[in-house]
Amino acid sequence: MATVDFGLMLRPSDARFTFDELITFNQMCIQALSEGFSTLWMEDHLQWGATESLECLSTLAYLAGMYPRFTIGTLVLAQSYRNPALVAKMAANLHALTGGRIILGLGAGWKEDEYRAYGYPFPPVKTRLEQLEEAAQIMKSMWQTQPATLHGQHYHIQNAYCSPQPTPNIPLLIGGGGEQRTLAIVARYADWWNFNSCPPEDYARKATILKQHCERIGRDFSEITLSYLGTVSVASDPAQVARNPQKHFVAGTADEVIREIEQFHAIGVTHFMFRFLDIPTLEYFVSHVVPHFQ
């Protein structure tokens, strides 16, 4: 089975911090990472009320230049916020400039207050999933075909050139766990799949359904890299471990966290993107958990 490696999910916003403090916090987190971490990730949100927040793509472009040892990824872009052909071009451009260090994560979009605030239509989930599928088609087509043409119900391109075309190909990650439509889109178009904040048994059930979708269309399930996004709370003293009744944390002592990561790995997860509540927790994870997987 493939080895495990880790990614850091950066904070796009935090009510505890001023903007400068947020930047410093993220920089300190990156500086604390060991060789077991290979990726940096950013969420795609435009606002959290009045709290200062970082925009995803421009921040990742900055991080790609600042930290050249890391691959950078979006987890995940809301397909509604940017024309998919433009995103394909931007990603290919950044891929070329960074020597192939981009993973493009894409999702249907969900945060209605952002849509309303920024003037985007907020269609029903069925429509947003149709748009997600067409966006994936456009991006893959533009990265692989010169010129690319697609006339969908929601998005259209005509003789579109994306030069230079990405070499190697940009991995397309699709996030979500909708069992009928989202996982079917993953099976057809994604190079990576991400599901988040659930215990291993829930992830295993979703992975089984994804495999069934792959079998229906004749795709090899093993072609898809399985990844997991979660929040870690780890400490030597169980009383210092944070848990959330509404959201699954990978939480416990170092041995307990290692055991849970191994359970995900047994399902087939090879890349873990983790959020950390504070820098001491991250440092403890780096020193007491990561070495087990190296």
- What is d(CA 227, CA 268) in angstroms, rounded to the nearest whole number? 9
Scored b (16 or more CB within 10 A) or e, 7-31 reads bbbbbbbeeebeeeebbebbeebbe
Please give the Cα distance from 130 to 24 (Å, whole number). 39
**Average confidence score pLDDT of the chain:** 97
Are 242 and 284 in contact by the 8 Å Cβ rule? The answer is: no
Q: What is the pLDDT of residues 66-99, one digit of tens each?
A: 999 999 999 999 999 999 999 999 999 999 999 9
Instruction: Quote the domain boundaries for residue 215.
Output: 5-293
Model confidence at 3, in pLDDT bands (50, 70, 90)? confident
* Residue from 172, 165, 171, 166 nearest 147 by CA: 165
**In the predicted model, is pLDDT for residue 245 greater than 60?**
yes
CB-side neighbour CA atoms (13 Å) of 159: 0
pLDDT tens figures, 120-139: 999 999 999 999 999 999 99
What is the predicted pLDDT for the residue at 2?
Answer: 61
Tell me 290's DSSP state: G
Q: What percent of the chain has pLDDT over 90?
A: 99
Burial class (CB in 10 A: 0-12, 13-18, 19+), 32: middle
Q: What is the CATH number of the domain that holds 19?
A: 3.20.20.30
- 104 vs 3: which has the higher pLDDT: 104
Let me know: does 126 contact 182? Beta carbons within 8 Å: no
What total number of domains does the chain contain?
1
Residue 124: its pLDDT value, please? 98
pLDDT for the residue 155 = 98
What are 45-61's pLDDT values in tens digits? Answer: 999 999 999 999 999 99
User: Residue 1: is its pLDDT beyond 60?
Assistant: no
Give the count of alpha carbons within 13 A of 201, CB side only.
0
